[in-house]
Structure 1
């Protein structure tokens, strides 16, 4: 279509030239259709880890592109490129094909050749990562960067098109090209660190913390179980998980609680310095992770921790959809359809007093899921795994902290850092909630945060209306039969079924929160790490809701639309709305 439009503009230039251009256009149109089909096949091969087919199809694609470039390099196209005005459109098409050919020959083909023997089953075998294969993949991606960036810069320098549909096409591809350019630079800032993070330079100890969204914390949930994953030159092993970790001799002076943290997160007594369960009261994940790492080391003979990973049962359910389920100690099958339900609700109803039987279920699921993931991921397509992990990061269900500064920066770049964003050019507001009823009632919690359309102000700032709603969705039937283990254990609760929550609203760096209106009570104002915060204690009986509306105004320095980070809940799992993650990853 695009080539045809160019031809129509130059037919008047000469009958013979126009005739050959027309013939070329018909040929190019047919080749373009074949090319798009082959590219679609390549995407499927990459997603399914079919390296040999990927490499073969890449060869076909490269041949098609080379043929199309030869066509537009022909004499008729050369002559047409000199006509006034519309000759620029001819030059643009020729330049695009030249760069497509360079990308195919110098980036796509070498990368696909490297990937021919690459699939997760080869990279991850018998609980170990093949470090040498990983290094080869990293080198390939690093080699691609200068080729891709050079071609994108060359395309940016091509003449401006005059034909409307060609201009629309260029506008359409400009965004993805710039995104790819930035993403490649970002990826190459992270990938070289992966071998050392996987123990290539010496053993690593990573503390895995399992969050319980039924007892909500700002970062996700109460840390009810945790254990160390050892990685040594790619060899991965998992130590036994333990229950909630408490200090053996009272609060730890090595874990200081600031005045800001006392105001915002400790309304009754300081707990963040002696129990792992409350480490994630703060939405500043690096601080919470560092605290739980310190507590673990103090309680385990000084064992060094290189990093902390937090994940929740909803993410586990996503992953088990990829690689199959496990059987818990009591015979319950936990898989990609029910993991969140079983771990956040079902087990509490089966074992209403808690105790060893319940602990055995959690421990067996943790170890079984770990082994299943290591054993099953080898058969999972790389694209599906990547998209599921990315979804976990986007939803705040997978968070990481590294003791090494460079590795921590890499984790933040990847979107797993859980930091309080201090960059006013990339504004991020926060909506967080903590449970103070000492219960597992938050399986029934709905937390809905809705951002409205931004309005540009005269001073260059942008204001966004926000509406946040908290709802206790417990049914009357569940309320009547509620096991004691799930119920509120805070002595000030008005009833066993009452959720006692604290809602926290964070302004973005350089921005403000104004016009705060609540459905009941009133909010207080504070600061945390230089950010404006509004907070309020909220009590909800079954069926009750609390709502707050307010305005978030971002700095005039903001270069992006406001992002809103929200505490991840289990509400979609409770409602059966998780669906097929593999289908969602298409």
Structure 2
């Protein structure tokens, strides 16, 4: 007879259940502890790697050392990736709350490791090709073929860094803990910066050989802006020069002043769009000095090129604008230069010498122009002779470009497209779904050089949901007007008392922005006025303010517009590099 099975005694069943629960609990604790320990170790490796990468990307004076440090960072990123890329880790990613945190750490570790492990090699290759001292041929020409040879490696590095940055940017940060969300954002910013630098290197190695005549003779018109008399992109164009390049050899073929190109006052040399005329009239197309008044360098560069063609008969291939501050950066690379007057111009005295001392020394504008031309020619001669370190020269050009003091326009559309999206184009502010950008452009209305003594401050920040405040303040720090030459004060020629400064502030709002309120204040005799218009779909608010020495004026604009992760502001570069626009906290709160 078969014996029937009977259930286990209650005490035995409960013992088995308790044992199973305990085992599961212990496994869960062990799994959690294992995940936690690996995660903590991975984060430590990532932090170490970020410290290494930050030091490498900020020290541009030693490219070889920076590449070596980036290679060292790959050891940490590889370790972090190994700690977070296994089946157990991925299984935990399905859990509520903790899962998104683990997934974010894994994606960051993998993406950063991809960047550090695969982008360093092409960056190293590009750095080797562009090594200091290797960019000159035996006869002293710039080695344009060598520069062009670095392009494939630069393009490879830029693509890999961009892929890594995009992968991390795609992480949904909403469920992340605050510290982790901040770390993800910081990593995206670092990779964006690195990708941007590699992208700039690719563009440089693409376009520079062409502009230096690798395919035949190329001509460039140089415009020297004067920050003592503001225009939107920097200052009035006071001196110009034509430079020819062929196979990396440079030649200064002609120089002139704005007075030499003054034959177009009655009729624009090129047509201006209706919206541009509505804001600036036709002055930018009639006076060389005003070609930088429109805050879109493509407009003014084409006009300057046409003025030069009509005056000198040469149709240049490109137009480049720079200011005395940019020249001072170049002098850091070349070292001091001696002018025909005996003056020794260096990086420290270039700005005050060209924007202040020259007017105290020479009352005749023609003599001033001769001085400006000799100064620019001296710097050009030093550069074309190969003086200075190539790394320092790259630093100087990079800084000038980032500060929008170096602007480039090519008549060939394909060449110009290489610069799309870069600061070198001097284009109108661009806004999209992720970035809101406002432009603040300063223009002198006094007919003087008083802007040497004016100090602006531009700041913007979100003050409420969908509401931002832009604050523009101007201060006139000029000395007693009687101590200044009439050419500097304007001598009252345009109805402005000597020493006073009349400034037109043009605020370019992003498409769709609405002015909710505007307020002005001052501590002196200020007569503000408002005007407006549109330019390329952007509302333009113009504030005119006149300031006597020792006085200041402030404009606050409250703006309603869709919030985006990034808020930026562009502003006219002044003679003081420290006067940079700020985007951050609500200006009304500070």
Q: 1:371 aligns with which of 375, 381, 394?
A: 381
Which one is further off, 191-200 or 504-513? 191-200
Note if contact 2:441-2:507 (Cα within 8 Å) is conserved in structure 1: yes
User: How far did residue 515 of structure 1 move?
Assistant: 2.0
Note if contact 2:336-2:347 (Cα within 8 Å) is conserved in structure 1: yes
Q: 1:214 aligns with which of 228, 232, 251?
A: 228
Distance 1:363 1:198, change over 3 A: same
Q: How does 1:364-513 map to 2 (within 5 A)?
A: 364-374=374-384, 379-381=389-391, 385-386=394-395, 388-421=396-429, 423=431, 425=433, 426-456=435-465, 462-476=466-480, 479-489=481-491, 491-513=493-515
CA distance in 2 between counterparts of 1:563 and 1:378 reads 35
Note if contact 1:401-1:408 (Cα within 8 Å) is conserved in structure 2: yes
CA distance in 2 between counterparts of 1:195 and 1:12 reads 66
Describe the superposition over 1:368-416 as per-residue Cα deviations: whole angstroms up to 9, x where unpaired.
112334556752536x844x54443443322222222233333341112
Q: How does 1:273-422 map to 2 (within 5 A)?
A: 273-301=285-313, 303-356=314-367, 358-374=368-384, 379-381=389-391, 385-386=394-395, 388-421=396-429
Which one is further off, 273-282 or 334-343? 273-282
Note if contact 1:217-1:435 (Cα within 8 Å) is conserved in structure 2: yes
CA distance in 2 between counterparts of 1:455 and 1:529 reads 28
CA distance in 1 between counterparts of 2:168 and 2:431 reads 31
Higher relative contact order (CA 8 A, sep 6+): 1
CA distance in 2 between counterparts of 1:517 and 1:158 reads 41
Which one is further off, 373-382 or 230-239? 373-382
**What residue in structure 2 maps to residue 526 of structure 1?**
533
Q: 1:225 aligns with which of 239, 255, 258?
A: 239
CA distance in 2 between counterparts of 1:424 and 1:147 reads 24
Which one is further off, 179-188 or 503-512? 179-188
CA distance in 2 between counterparts of 1:437 and 1:158 reads 52
Distance 1:181 1:559, change over 3 A: farther
Q: How does 1:551-570 map to 2 (within 5 A)?
A: 551-554=558-561, 556=562, 559-570=564-575
Distance 1:181 1:40, change over 3 A: closer
**What residue in structure 2 maps to residue 4 of structure 1?**
none
User: How far did residue 16 of structure 1 move?
Assistant: 12
CA distance in 2 between counterparts of 1:162 and 1:431 reads 36
CA distance in 1 between counterparts of 2:470 and 2:80 reads 51
Note if contact 1:123-1:378 (Cα within 8 Å) is conserved in structure 2: no
Describe the superposition over 1:120-178 as per-residue Cα deviations: whole angstroms up to 9, x where unpaired.
43235676432222222210122335544566677789999999977775564345346
CA distance in 1 between counterparts of 2:474 and 2:362 reads 28
Note if contact 1:310-1:398 (Cα within 8 Å) is conserved in structure 2: yes
**What residue in structure 1 maps to residue 269 of structure 2?**
254
User: How far did residue 198 of structure 1 move?
Assistant: 3.3
Q: State TM-score, norm by structure 2.
A: 0.76
SS of the residue aligned with 2:373? helix
Describe the superposition over 1:480-525 as per-residue Cα deviations: whole angstroms up to 9, x where unpaired.
2222322315634243333233332332223233423344343123
SS of the residue aligned with 2:553? strand
Note if contact 2:445-2:502 (Cα within 8 Å) is conserved in structure 1: yes
Which one is further off, 535-544 or 54-63? 54-63
Note if contact 1:229-1:238 (Cα within 8 Å) is conserved in structure 2: yes
CA distance in 1 between counterparts of 2:496 and 2:82 reads 79
Note if contact 1:246-1:274 (Cα within 8 Å) is conserved in structure 2: no
CA distance in 2 between counterparts of 1:49 and 1:56 reads 10
Superposition RMSD in Å: 4.4
Distance 1:155 1:451, change over 3 A: closer
User: How far did residue 91 of structure 1 move?
Assistant: 8.9
CA distance in 2 between counterparts of 1:559 and 1:380 reads 39
Distance 1:188 1:389, change over 3 A: closer
Distance 1:445 1:11, change over 3 A: farther
User: How far did residue 298 of structure 1 move?
Assistant: 0.9
Which one is further off, 120-129 or 504-513? 120-129
Note if contact 1:58-1:112 (Cα within 8 Å) is conserved in structure 2: no
SS of the residue aligned with 1:366? helix
Note if contact 2:125-2:153 (Cα within 8 Å) is conserved in structure 1: no
Q: How does 1:228-247 map to 2 (within 5 A)?
A: 228-244=242-258, 245-247=260-262
Note if contact 1:95-1:155 (Cα within 8 Å) is conserved in structure 2: yes
CA distance in 1 between counterparts of 2:275 and 2:51 reads 58
SS of the residue aligned with 1:547? strand
Contiguous gaps of at least 5 residues in structure 2:
1-23, 522-526, 581-590
**What residue in structure 1 maps to residue 8 of structure 2?**
none
SS of the residue aligned with 2:486? coil
Contiguous gaps of at least 5 residues in structure 1:
1-9, 457-461, 578-586
Distance 1:203 1:443, change over 3 A: same
Note if contact 2:219-2:244 (Cα within 8 Å) is conserved in structure 1: yes
Which one is further off, 307-316 or 121-130? 121-130
Asked whether 1:196 is paired with 2:204, we answer no
